[in-house]
Amino acid sequence: MKILGIIFLLTGSLGFTGNGKAAAIPESLAKPVVEAYAKLVFSSYNETVVESQSLAAALDSYVTKPSEETKKAAQDAWKKARTAYSATEPYRYYGGPIDDPKTGVEGLVNAWPIDEAYIDYVSGNPNAGIVNNEKDYPKITKEILLSANANGGERNVSTGFHAIEFLLWGQDLSLQSAGTRPFTDYVVTQSKVAGRRGSYLKLLGTLLVEHLTRIRDAWDPSKANPYGKLLAGEPLDESLRKIFTGLTNLSIDEMSGERMTVALEKSDQENEQDCFSDYTLSDLQSNERGIHRVYFDTGLVKLIAAVDGKLGVKVTSALKRVLSDLAAIPAPFDNVIASEKGSTGRKLAQKAINDLQLQGKLLAQAGKKMGLILNVQ
């Protein structure tokens, strides 16, 4: 989903100096960056698989024995899995395994915003959704849920993190707290569709593990032809282009644009990414930590410094400032979204938006210095 469409097309020959002439990418620094990046991506996705497995187990326990305790355990497990996944989002936007047009599963894992009435009951409509629609969905199976995803509209989300989130928290009808779906929704003696709802939730956990495992395995260096090996085998300017594309698009288009600016401009908490659990601000911080991992843990910081020392200092400063900005925004984010223009919360959110845009543009400038061609929306 792309709402904002400002495109910066950065071009140049390989490398770029103050005179507009090419300065070769230092291969001794660049090649290790690409190799370290591949290892980092595999490690990060492996963490998401481990956490999603824990989530699936917690969902099973919750459905088997619904209570306040098992509900909280499932919600906590969702947050851990979500945190792990959010840190992997810099690995998107360049057609890698998660976004592959034919085999990518991003839309099955992370699609949002969602029409929650497509899944289950909502305020004013107690019979809404797949859960309550036994006529069209006599059985709830993995195949049914997969075929229903985005069927008839991009908000008709039936799988992934946010479908699980809604089935755990329910609608968020308060600006002060998250959704308050009762555990009795899963008690078969208190809800005629509790069994269907429980089957749905458990299948979502299973599907999440399957989809994230597929992505993890695509990067697994022990597998035949892992994507990381293919990435490292490409010309350096192409592999670096992909790395920079992920970083810049997440900064400018997704975090600054879709996830913050759109929500603030529309003043509608339905445009908040984690609108049921009120976990949005933690999610954004995890996104930023993912960017930090790529920048610092792969040696990209050294590569940029070698190409342009002054620019490297600016990029490093921008990254640290954004993380501080995001931590300063008062939770929950839907309260900020609903607040009046000029409120402290909105000012702090706008500062983070501005610094995210600057972070992305500085990273894009660093790419341009290396002669990379980036389409940053």
The pLDDT value given to residue 22? 40
Q: Is residue 1 part of a domain?
A: no
* Beta carbons within 8 Å of 195's beta carbon, 6+ residues apart: 188
Phi, psi values for residue 8, rounded to 5°? -105, 110
CA distance readout (Å), 142 to 131, 146, 162, 203? 14, 6, 16, 6
Which amino acid is residue 350, in one-letter code?
A: Q
User: Which residues does 58 contact at the CB level (< 8 Å), separation at least 6?
Assistant: 70, 73, 74, 76, 77, 78
Decide: 114 and 166 in contact? Cβ < 8 Å.
yes
E strand or H helix that includes residue 306: helix 300-307
Name 371's Cβ contacts closer than 8 Å, sequence gap at least 6.
12, 13, 14, 15, 16, 22, 25, 237
* Distant-in-sequence, close-in-space partners of 303: CB < 8 Å, separation ≥ 6: 25, 26, 29, 30, 33
**Given this model, what pLDDT does residue 299 score?**
98
Distance CA 165, CA 77 (A): 11
For residue 104, what is the domain's CATH number?
1.20.1420.20
- Count of structural domains, the chain: 1
Position 125 in a domain: yes
Q: What angle do CA 355, 356, 358 make, to 5 degrees?
A: 60
Q: Quick one: tokens of 224?
A: 């035949």
The reply to whether 2 falls in a domain is no
pLDDT string in tens for the chain (377-residue length): 433 443 444 433 333 333 444 456 889 999 999 999 999 999 999 999 999 999 999 999 999 999 999 999 999 999 999 999 999 999 999 999 999 999 999 999 999 999 999 999 999 999 999 999 999 999 999 999 999 999 999 999 999 999 999 999 999 998 889 999 999 999 999 999 999 999 999 999 999 999 999 999 999 999 999 999 999 999 999 999 999 999 999 999 999 999 999 999 998 888 899 999 999 999 999 999 999 999 999 999 999 999 999 999 999 999 999 999 999 999 999 999 999 999 999 999 999 999 999 999 999 999 999 999 887 66
Token pair belonging to 139: 């059985």
pLDDT value for 350: 98
Q: CA-CA distance, 147 to 163, in Å (whole number)?
A: 14
Residue 375 confidence (pLDDT): 76
Name, in order, each residue with C-beta under 8 angstroms of 335's C-beta and a sequence gap of 6 or more.
175, 176, 345
Specify the pLDDT at position 23: 53
Q: Burial level of 207, CB count in 10 A (0-12/13-18/19+)?
A: buried
Whole-number pLDDT of residue 8:
42
Angle at 264 between CA 149 and CA 278, to 5 degrees: 60
The answer to whether 345 touches 310, Cβ cutoff 8 Å, is no
| pTM for the model | 0.93
Amino acid, single-letter form, for residue 71: K
Q: How many residues are present in the chain?
A: 377
Report DSSP letters for 150-179, one per residue: TTTSTT---SSHHHHHHHHH-----SSS--
Rg from Cα positions in the chain: 22
Domain that holds residue 169: 8-376
Alpha-carbon distance of 272 to 348, in angstroms, equals: 16
Burial 351-362 (b: 16+ CB within 10 A, else e): bbbebbbbbbbb
